Structures are given as C-alpha cells and as structure tokens.
Amino acid sequence: MTDVTVSAEAVEAARPAALQPDALDDQLIGQLVDRARASGLQLTGAGGLLQQLTKKLLESALEGEMTDHLGYEKHDPAGAGSGNSRNGIRSKTVLTEVGPVEIDVPRDREGSFEPQLVRKRQRRLSGVDEMVLSLSARGLTHGEISAHLSDVYGAEVSKQTISTITDQVVEGMSEWQNRPLDPVYPVVFIDCVHVKLRDGQVANRPIYVALAVTVEGTREILGLWAGDGGEGAKYWLHVLTEIKNRGVADVCMVVCDGLKGLPDAIAAVWPQAVTQTCIVHLIRASFRYAARQDWDKISRALKPVYTAPTEDAALERFVEFAEVWGKKYPAIVRLWENAWAEFVPFLSFDVEVRRVICTTNAIESVNARIRKAVRSRGHFPNEQAALKCVYMAIMSLDPTGACRKRWMTRWKAALNAFEIAFDGRLAAGRR
C-alpha cells in the first residue's frame, strides 16, 4: 500500500466550509439516489440500489474483519513473510431483509479466518430470522411465510428452513418455563385453550395458561402446560404445585372459570388464597340449563345479584331470582348455590376493583391472541409444536410496551385495596 502525506492546510482547504455530518449523509444519499435514477436502476427489488449497497457494506465489513485477523491491510508489504495472507474470495448468497444478496467472502491461506458478520455456512442474516419469528408469532403458517418472502423479497425459503428458524425459540422457551417467580402475587388468573394435535388421530388437547398481576401492577404470564384429554382440576393441581415450587409462596386471589374441584386444588397449594369464580363463566353455565328464548330474561334477572352492594344484598336478590325461576330451572339455582362461596369474594371491594377481578377477561385477551395463532395452523404434529406456537404468540403480545402502562394504571386502585384487605401480604413481594 502506498503511503501518501497530505498537509493539514490542504485538508482544511478541501473541506466544505459549513458541512455538518448530517448534511454530508443527506448529500451522499441524494447523490446515490440521483445516480441510480439516471442509470435506470431501481431503488428496491432484485439488483436494486438497496441490494447493491448491502453487498458493498457486507463485503467491506468482511474485508475489515480479514484485516484484523491478519494484522495488515490488503496489498500492505508488511504482510510479506508473515506466515498467512489473503487467498482470494469465495462467493455465497445470503438472504437479507432486502432480498437475496450475492457477496464475495475473503479467504486466507491457512483457513483460520472465521468471519463474524456472515459466519461460515450462514445463509441468512439475523434480521431475516427475526422477521420469520415475527410473522410466525402473528399466526402465519410456514407455507404462508415462505410465500410472503418469495412475493416480497424474491427469496426462495423452504418450509423446512422456516421450521428450523422457529425451532430456535425452543431453548428459550424451556428456560422461560423454568425461570424463578416472585414470592407473592396479588392475583393469578388461570384458564386453558384447546389445540388440535395429530397423535394417531386429530384430538383436542388443553394448553393450561396462568397469568399473574405483580405487586407493581404489571402482567406476567407464569407458564404454559400441555395436558391430556380435557381440562381437569387434577392437572391444575400439578400446574399450581409447579408454580409454587418455582418460588410463589403466596397468592392473595385466584380467578378461575368455576371448574369442579378447582377450588380444592387451589386451597391445597395456597391455603390462604381466595378463589373467585368468573361471573361471565357462571352466567354462561346458567344458560346451558335454559331455553334460548329465556337467556335474556335470566341475564337481566341475575344482574342485580352480581351488582349488589354487599354479600347480604346479593343473597336477597338471589332468593328473589330463585322464587321466579327455581321451578322452571332448578339446575340454575343449584349451580349458583354450589358456587356461592367462590362467587361472593369480589363483593367486598368497591366497583372499580370489582371490575378487574370478577371475570377472567384479563387472561381472555391473551387466549384470543393464542387462538388466532392456533386457528390458522389447523392442527399440530406434536405437543412441542403446539407449545412453540403458543409461546411465540404470547411473546409478541406487547411489542411497544403500551399495554404495560395501561395495566399499571388499571390495577393501581385494586392493589391499594388489596394492601389493606390482605393485611400487608403484598409487602413480601416488594422485598
């Protein structure tokens, strides 16, 4: 490499007088765009300006890595007799966010050069993997993702390659599933969604989901579990026990859907926890015993029960409901009588707090996102594939953080009430 000496005066004379770095960037970009348009070169697409810039940047960075590896610049006489030197290039095509780009990767004679920007045998840049994971988390099937990459970027990516990319989350999913949890949670919502698994024949399998509200008022999904058969209290006992073994010593309230045996399972794990049955699930269960034409009447008749100011007032309204509908639908009256102990806890709070703890709506929004991702796939070949899909769906729930702020605002009043109602039990979660 030839050494050139340039005086400081000459540099100052050649430098534009008032050119700032940002202006220089804008000027260079403008020149590139103008030259591309003048020569008929497209800005995007195959062979476009963006692809050529990507090629130049990648090759320049790789050449810089080779210089660092060898310890001298290209054509520098200092490399003579150093024992290792450049040995030409090899071409490879990598998939980038602007489409497939063919690049020239430098080689050395010893074969000891290990590029870091585009590693050996790497065919995709990390941005492409992130794009595939994002599309998969939003419910696109592997075939749809492959078609999207082909239509938009002109890149042929097989469904097997996409499956390999999404398999990268499995290790992270296992670590997430076994992470330590907080010692205390004010409220835990539990529910399950059903997915179809192809195990000999296609059958519904439950995916158990537990969502907690932290002592700071944020949302935290505690884990995902794939069960056998239908939803059952016995498996919920296993799930809750695992949550406790991961560090959750106390839960103030557990909100659930009224599954038979579930209150006993909760009491076995956290004896001090209050079990709250979801009002919406209770009303839906009532409709199972009534004729369709009576649903609206029954709903209006039950509203004074769950909107009563106190437990005693709710009991009075329920007696009135039983007097009117008990003879026609005795099963509804028996359903509410059996669930009464788990129905009334929320009545001891004011209206603002009741609104966030009387239903499982907090977890239903999560379930809706899961169902959207699951529905597009139809069924899964195995349990791990189903859990991977659900995991990616919940990991993309709040990409901007706006939901976190809303949660903290919504739960502020409830946490203040819990601090008093549960006699300082939340303090252990802040230590």
Proportion of the chain in helix, strand, coil states, percent, rounded to 5: 55, 15, 30
- Per residue in 337-353, pLDDT (tens digit) is 999 999 999 998 888 88
Of 52 and 311, more confident: 311
pLDDT at residue 378 in the model? 78
Kindly give the pairing relationship between strand 219-226 and strand 201-213: antiparallel
In this structure, what is the dihedral angle of CA atoms 362, 420, 250, 261, given to the nearest 10 degrees? -60
Say how many C-beta atoms besides its own lie within 10 A of residue 358's C-beta. 22
- Per residue in 113-145, pLDDT (tens digit) is 887 666 676 666 656 666 666 666 666 777 777
User: 384 by DSSP, 3-state: which?
Assistant: helix
| CA distances (Å), origin 311, targets 94, 226, 396 | 67, 37, 40
| CA distances (Å), origin 350, targets 139, 308, 354 | 39, 11, 6
User: 111 by DSSP, 3-state: which?
Assistant: coil
Of 272 and 200, more confident: 272
Token pair belonging to 248? 């959750």
* Spatial separation of the C-alpha atoms in residues 370 and 390, rounded to whole Å: 6
pLDDT at residue 4 in the model? 36
**CA-wise closest residue to 187 among 405, 399, 361, 370:** 361
Single-letter amino acid code for the residue at 425: R
Split at pLDDT 50, 70, 90, the class of 9 is very low
pLDDT at residue 172 in the model? 80
Under a CB-based contact definition with an 8 Å cutoff, are residues 156 and 147 in contact? no
Weakest-pLDDT range from 51-65, 222-236, 366-380, 397-411: 51-65
* Burial classification of residue 256, based on how many CB atoms lie within 10 Å of its CB (0-12 exposed, 13-18 middle, 19 or more buried): buried
- Per residue in 39-54, pLDDT (tens digit) is 666 656 666 666 677 6
Q: Could you tell me if residue 75 is left (phi over 0), alpha (psi between -120 and 50 degrees) or otherwise beta?
A: left
Mean pLDDT of 364-387: 84
* Spatial separation of the C-alpha atoms in residues 323 and 276, rounded to whole Å: 26
* Burial classification of residue 17, based on how many CB atoms lie within 10 Å of its CB (0-12 exposed, 13-18 middle, 19 or more buried): exposed
